[in-house]
Structure 1
């Protein structure tokens, strides 16, 4: 597990301190920024609190060191994330981290709260690409990151437990920010949430949740993951995961299982999800075992319906996606340049909008071969069109929205990945040579990459501070968006062909298919 970078020892009196509602903290200074890591925002969700909604954290008496990230919640084995979690033992999963250029109460700085992605099955705030130091220093903002429960712990539909526990963790973290960020120089009335992939989908969900109302003023949703499950679908998938252990999906059965065993059971189900396609539908085709559940209470309806009805109308929204969202996943599965006509046809049949979406893709993109069609329909269904439709729903209800597309080709793998999913994360944080992003950008970032990163950081922090990222708001007639490339330009939405194919699709709740 990544820990705080080492620095020369400081006299204890020079280390930054902050007083929170639960007690005093002592952090560290790194490159001119005060940093506080591993601050509990809720009690550890284990033992009697396993699968419960997050509970208020108990206070502490003496000054608490806040120099190391807290242990992450249990993780899927994808990309070796389970090993990272097990290398950082402990059950204090629900912690926040704060970077502040001016940790003085009353400084009134804008606050940016990051929600990481990971397909709702992995994700931890301690990864080096999420270090908030550069964003905080260059943008003069307070940056907050945090852990939330993922996989079965956070999103499994378990009898006797509240649904959407991962979303409830996010609400609890935002409540902590509201109650404590002033001590770090932040203004609780100027909070912006920003997140990518499942983090973008989480932000879409938060916009629809009464429990999150008033906890943030602005939202930046990057590559919104558009999957939202019905309770029946979520219950059926969770039951299959529990059955891998010979158990039922109940609090009574699962609370005795080691937390790190549950992700392994879910991974086993994920490995055979294609066999469940006739029962689980699109999530099985795309291997998505967990997503937020539209339960009618914690999450009353889908984000697109909620925004169309006026929920979050007063929240200023910045939303966008990358041009080649699915290219990275195609490469990971070994299909880059190898997609067969049968695989493309299956993707169009499963994912394109009914009733004639598959035909329309072939008509609108007549020269596209199997690789291009496969990538287009995956990118559109999972990220591009959910992001665009979120903007359109907010705009239609009278809210203010700015839209962007990242079109810069990542230099990694000789440019074969294009402007792929996740490329925006290192550009926004400015961490171009740390952790996983090095695969996309290269070990030595080019001046072009640095310049693009500076532009995106400036846009994000300006939006957080003033509600203006530097380009016009989206409107349904002109549909102007910011294209981030070597030479940025404001132009009409560039994926017009896909927009027309999907314009009547509502992104409904994904159901359990009765067979």
Structure 2
């Protein structure tokens, strides 16, 4: 067990780093995996980090990338950028010894591709590293226009390229921290899960991880046409064009705030952007034909994940997080609009209503938005993985949050505090109460143990998801294994194909 008074040192490819020990886990913070993406490197693919002399103190997290403010997991808002060294990794290890060969878990944070950072207290890796016997890595990557906008003169999916560069750093350096570079699990939630799905389909990421955990996968991948139109809308707020030469002089933090304006107006853009206007963020990976040649669902069905074990799932009441302020007041008009825009064919809105007889307008609204944005993309990822010959495991989190008197049900992001056990960091106090109940802590211990077991051996402790049985782990006070429980939605979406979303005006021209 590590001595609390020691400051362990590890040699990386770029130089030595000195960490700190807390609760018998060594932590190394703010290690560069790429050069700061500023100046001539702004909007470029990540460049290898520069070496340093001597020992670099790894006691502080690197600066968060420029953040949006329209969405925030807590009352304090999102953090300010404090420097230009955004592209850094953080490592928690119970045994910083190259002989340890522990499994490695690399966390890709969520935040709608607009906010978030690897140093968020909600992602503190101490418990997962110590109890799970793993080396835990978090990273920062570029957000918003910096990382995800389709711009003339820049490679697409720069945020995804950052994540791949972080995984390459792990492959080259993690053995010195006690990790096994051949036993890497990449995992993430929401936009992080969407990133994990994209990594499964990205040729440059092949061989960088052995297993993947995708919690609440987003289904809103963009076509080049839609991505270009969205970038043009953000740039137009500044009177500029979506090209590197126009945007290079704009302060990165100011550019991040400009994306907030478009995010706030998404519902007004449904006629042009179609279903994507129901997403909470104007950013998403783009199926560009190079970094991301095809959608994750298509890639997995074709066998891209045959050599990778996949664990994926969702919460039962995903969209209640985003509709929290309107719960109890969502009526027929909102339900009709959402069903018309999102309900899958064949049958569309009438078939959706028939599948849920007796459901209120609000219940229909919440079900179709939860299905479209998170539940069915997650389920289809498992279906496609199984069809392509790979191993898939599925869960549904049904534990009811006490937040808002229980009105939230089991909402989006409920799983993150359970995985990390970080009940004092936002948004956990709102979701779990302060302090959380003993049953919440017991469930957290179970989830951490299952995730760590999967990272160690590719088996989370329940059977694979294989049609027609579709075995699913229910995560609740009394965990049980059942057939996939949301069968009405599964059947409605059975023939739907999650793929890159088109520009609605182009789609209308094709339909006509």
TM-score, normalized by length of structure 1?
0.96
Query: For the residues of structure 1 that align with 2:467 and 2:258, how far apart are their CA atoms?
Result: 45
Q: Distance in 1 between matches of 2:178 and 2:223?
A: 41
- What does residue range 105-124 of structure 1 map to in structure 2 within 5 Å? 105-124=98-117
After superposition, the Cα gap between the structure-2 partners of 1:313 and 1:72, relative to the gap in structure 1 and judged at 3 Å, is same
The answer to which of 73-82 and 466-475 deviates more is 73-82
- Count of residues paired in the alignment: 504
Note if 1:396 corresponds to 2:387: yes
- Whether the 8 Å contact between 2:355 and 2:488 is mirrored in structure 1 is yes
- What is the CA distance between 1:221 and its match in structure 2? 0.4
Q: Counterpart in 2 of 1:380?
A: 371
Matched, 1:477 2:468: yes
Q: Using the alignment, how far apart are the partners of 1:336 and 1:26 within structure 2?
A: 49
Residues 440 and 235 (structure 1 numbering): CA distance in 2 closer, same or farther, change over 3 Å? same
SS in 2 for 1:270: helix
How big is the shift at 1:361? 1.4
Query: How far did residue 356 of structure 1 move?
Result: 1.7
Partner of 2:441: 450
Partner of 2:183: 190
Q: Is 2:175 the partner of 1:176?
A: no
- State yes or no: 1:322 paired with 2:315: yes
- Asked if residue 78 in structure 1 is aligned to residue 78 in structure 2, the reply is no
Q: Determine the structure 2 residue equivalent to 1:418.
A: 409
Residue by residue, what CA displacement relative to the aligned partner does 1:139-173 show, whole Å, maximum 9, x if unpaired?
Answer: 01000000011111110011000000000000000
Q: Is the 8 A contact 1:74 1:85 kept in 2?
A: no
Matched, 1:507 2:502: no
1:311 matches 2:329: no
Select between 82-91 and 233-242 the one with higher mean Cα deviation.
82-91
TM-superposed deviation, 1:432: 1.7
**Partners of 1:191 and 1:351 in 2: how far apart?**
36
Pairing partner for 1:63 from 34, 55, 59: 55
Does 2:32 match 1:40? Answer: yes
- 1:428 and 1:236 mapped to 2: Cα distance? 37
DSSP 3-state at the match of 2:156: coil
- C-alpha displacement of 1:232: 0.9
1:159 is the counterpart of 2:152: yes
Q: Are 1:231 and 2:224 an aligned pair?
A: yes
The yes-or-no answer on 1:427 pairing with 2:418 is yes
CA distance in 1, matches of 2:316, 2:179: 34
Give SS of 2:323's match.
Answer: helix
Give the CA deviation at 1:61. 0.1
- Residue 149 (structure 1) aligns with: 142
2:79, 2:136 → 1: CA distance? 27
Structure-2 change in CA distance of 1:494 and 1:13 (3 Å) = closer
Q: Does 1:90 align with 2:83?
A: yes
Q: Secondary structure at the match of 1:360?
A: helix
Report the 3-state secondary structure (helix = DSSP H, G, I; strand = E; otherwise coil) of the residue aligned with 1:464: helix
The answer (yes or no) to whether the contact 1:127–1:435 under 8 Å persists in 2 is no
Deviation at 1:11, TM superposition (A): 11
Please list the CA deviations of residues 7-32 of structure 1 after superposition, one character each: whole Å capped at 9, or x if unmatched. Answer: xxx99982011100000000100100
Task: Decide which of 1, 14, 32 is 1:22's aligned counterpart.
Answer: 14
8 Å contact kept, 1:163–1:298: yes
Pick from 251, 262, 281 the counterpart of residue 244 of structure 2.
251
Cα distance in 2, alignment partners of residues 434 and 512 from structure 1: 39
CA pair 81-498 structure 1, distance change in 2 beyond 3 A:
closer
Distance change in 2, residues 1:12/1:31 (3 Å) = closer
CA shift for structure 1 position 225: 0.7
- Give the C-alpha shift of residue 81 in structure 1: 8.0
How well do the aligned residues superpose, as a CA RMSD in angstroms? 1.6
- Tell me which residue corresponds to 1:268: 261
* Inter-partner Cα distance in structure 1 for 2:431 and 2:281: 24
Unpaired stretches in structure 2, ≥5 consecutive residues: 507-512
- By how many angstroms is 1:88 displaced? 4.3
> Residues 462-473 of structure 1: matches in 2 within 5 Å?
462-473=453-464
Tell me the secondary structure at the aligned position of residue 426 of structure 1.
helix
On the 8 A contact 2:200/2:305 being kept in 1, the answer is: yes
Q: Report the counterpart of residue 23 of structure 2 in structure 1.
A: 31
Deviation at 1:246, TM superposition (A): 1.0
1:281 and 2:289 are equivalent in the alignment = no
**Aligned residue number for residue 348 of structure 1:** 339
2: CA distance, partners of 1:30 / 1:414: 36
Give the C-alpha shift of residue 441 in structure 1: 0.5
Superposed CA offset, 1:86-145 (max 9, x none): 644100000000000000112100000000111111111111110000000000100000
Question: Hey, what does 1:126 align to over in structure 2?
Answer: 119
For residue 295 of structure 1, report the CA deviation from its aligned partner: 0.5
What 5-or-longer segments of structure 1 have no aligned partner? 1-9
Match of 1:51 in 2: 43
When the two structures are superposed, what TM-score results if normalisation uses the length of structure 2?
A: 0.96
Aligned partner of residue 235 in structure 1, secondary structure: helix
Distance in 2 of aligned mates of 1:13 and 1:273: 52
User: In the alignment, which residue of structure 2 is the partner of 1:492?
Assistant: 483
